[in-house]
Structure 1
Amino acid sequence: MDDDDAVRRLLADVSIEVTPRETSALDETATVLPAGTRVYVTDLPNLELQQTLDAAARVREHGLRPVVHLAVRSIPDPAALDRTLGRLVDAGVADLLLVAGSRAPAGSIENTLQVLESEALARRPFASIGVAGHPEGNPGVDEGAVDDALARKDKLAREGGLPLHVVTQFVFAADPVLGWERRMRDAGITLPVRVGLPGLTSPARLLKFGLSCGVGPSLAVLRKQSGSVLKLATQTYRPTETLRGLARAVAADPGNLISAVHLFPFGAVVPTARWAASGQKDGLGEDAARS
């Protein structure tokens, strides 16, 4: 398998995310990405759940598959969790991404394991449930605790039949995530992994988000690639080389847990969708990389 074939294979089930305020971008996004592409709808602070549900409905209207983020620390107690999950199901949401969220807990729910182990979730047959992966660490959280939590989620999936997958924080280089994947696999974890990649936005914007999200070793790669402050302000970042590195590794190792990539556009939804669609068709040759 050559590099372009490996890239096409990894992009075949690409996913992308939008905020509830960016749904106008779906008009064009739906014309370039295949029908049924997963579109993750982010949970923004200060937005009501209904706004997220309305955004998910728009994703569905465009022939795409909505995956709703749920920041569990915003849910105060099991009764509220039951009501929230009920509203999601009633609105036709079949796919979730559970994250703790950066805000302080509103009540007794502090982490996603509490939701995964809850009776409220067990009663509802979601088609897929994503959980967060942190190849370069989670700010303020001990690495051992992060690894242990993922191992417990993997056990829930295997023993309880939960349809879990991992979506990682975004990375700027392949090596850190490949090392993390190997470590997780050696620990017995079998969950499929979607690797987060930044979309086609400015390196300066990515540096800002990378520092706030705790992205570690691969952030140095972005700095090296970006060069001067002037270039940071004027160029557009493309995750082409990171994707190539991931695709080569997955093609060479059939046991690799990485199954797809997930794109964080940071506002550049349409250009990022076009880039992914070009890669699905052309394998990110030089012309596709400049799309």
Structure 2
Amino acid sequence: MRNKASLTPTLLRLLDSVRYEVLPTASTEDKVLAHVPRDVTVTVTASPSKGLDATLDLAERLAGHGYTVVPHIAARMVTGRAELAEICGRLTGKGITRVFVPGGDADPAGDYADALALLLDLTELGRPFEQVGITGYPESHPTIHDDLTVQAMWDKRHYATHVVSNLTFDPAVIRDWVHRLRGRGVTMPLLLGIPGPVDRTKLLTMATKIGVGESTRFLAKHKGTFARLAAPGGFTGERFLEQCAPTLAEPTSLVEGLHVFTFNQIAETEAWRQGLLGRLRG
């Protein structure tokens, strides 16, 4: 087992290569502008109740402010190739070069039953984006068998550039999943999904108000996980990263950075990151 000091360079690298997931609400733009440095990438979730326009509008505004932005294009929310082509033209016209393509939990609005179908059409449209992320599931997916989730990543490997892991709170799960992923020949770089600091009351309010979003849905389906996240002393991002660090430091893990689910606790998340960076740098 490596000692803590030997893992500090890995932790610093990951915290310096961070991106924040935000929900497209009326106050999100102001929160990002007030608290997020321009060198931090911002990803914007897709909400079936709000529609893709809310995601695209916020992404365009943040890009205009100088942020690197990654809008989520949830496959089941897109009606087909014609709408997808319009979305691609809209985003690339604003200089947006990165997207994230989950399947989404909504009923299909048209031709795309899953993320792979949309990824195939992105390829047919000439691969308009430099980076295309897909979802990985360290924890068991509520409706998809584990073997199928890994197979899905294998099927998407020619059409995506990296994997973003969904939330888990168990370092052993991360270790086993990363080893399994690489053992199956999935060599795409990985961004590790972790929660930012969460206030339980605010999170419950957000879940009620939004009712959607990859991270909010995850918590709704994993009540035991939520209890662990919200309990005093039950989970801290710092301890979780330290426990994951031996796996993340392995050259074969290809973990390039952190994807932080902020739950729109944006100021608190950046304060947490800066505090941890300060402690690690001594």
TM range (shorter): 0.7 to 0.9
Contact 2:68/2:96, CA 8 A, preserved across alignment: no
The question of 1:171 aligning with 2:168 is answered yes
Contact 1:250/1:256, CA 8 A, preserved across alignment: yes
Unaligned 5+ segments in structure 2 are: 205-214
| Map of 1:200 onto structure 2 | 197
| Map of 1:289 onto structure 2 | none
CA distance in 2 between partners of 1:86 and 1:51 (Å): 17
CA distance in 2 between partners of 1:117 and 1:25 (Å): 35
| Map of 2:236 onto structure 1 | 238
Give deviations 1:201-246, integer Å, cap 9, x for gaps: 1357489865534588xx39927x93xxxx5xxx896311111122
| Map of 2:152 onto structure 1 | 149
Identity across the alignment (%): 27
Q: Match for 2:15 among 11, 21, 39?
A: 11
| Map of 1:113 onto structure 2 | 116
CA distance in 1 between partners of 2:156 and 2:199 (Å): 35
- The one-letter code matched in structure 2 to 1:241 is R
The question of 1:183 aligning with 2:180 is answered yes
Contact 2:63/2:95, CA 8 A, preserved across alignment: no
| Map of 1:24 onto structure 2 | 30
Count of aligned pairs: 265
Deviation at 1:280, TM superposition (A): 3.4
| Map of 2:207 onto structure 1 | none
Contact 1:136/1:215, CA 8 A, preserved across alignment: no
* Distance 1:63-1:85 versus aligned 2 partners, 3 A rule: closer
Contact 2:164/2:193, CA 8 A, preserved across alignment: yes
* Distance 1:140-1:266 versus aligned 2 partners, 3 A rule: same
* Distance 1:221-1:119 versus aligned 2 partners, 3 A rule: closer
Q: Match for 2:75 among 72, 75, 80?
A: 72
- The one-letter code matched in structure 2 to 1:239 is G
Give deviations 1:121-162, integer Å, cap 9, x for gaps: 5424312111000011221112222111111112x15xxxx5
- The one-letter code matched in structure 2 to 1:69 is H
* Distance 1:57-1:237 versus aligned 2 partners, 3 A rule: farther
Q: Match for 1:2 among 2, 6, 21?
A: 6
Give deviations 1:20-43, integer Å, cap 9, x for gaps: 21111112223xx3x332100111
Give TM-score scaled by structure 1 length.
Answer: 0.80
Contact 2:51/2:77, CA 8 A, preserved across alignment: no
Give TM-score scaled by structure 2 length.
Answer: 0.83
Contact 1:168/1:195, CA 8 A, preserved across alignment: yes
Deviation at 1:3, TM superposition (A): 3.5
Contact 1:133/1:166, CA 8 A, preserved across alignment: yes
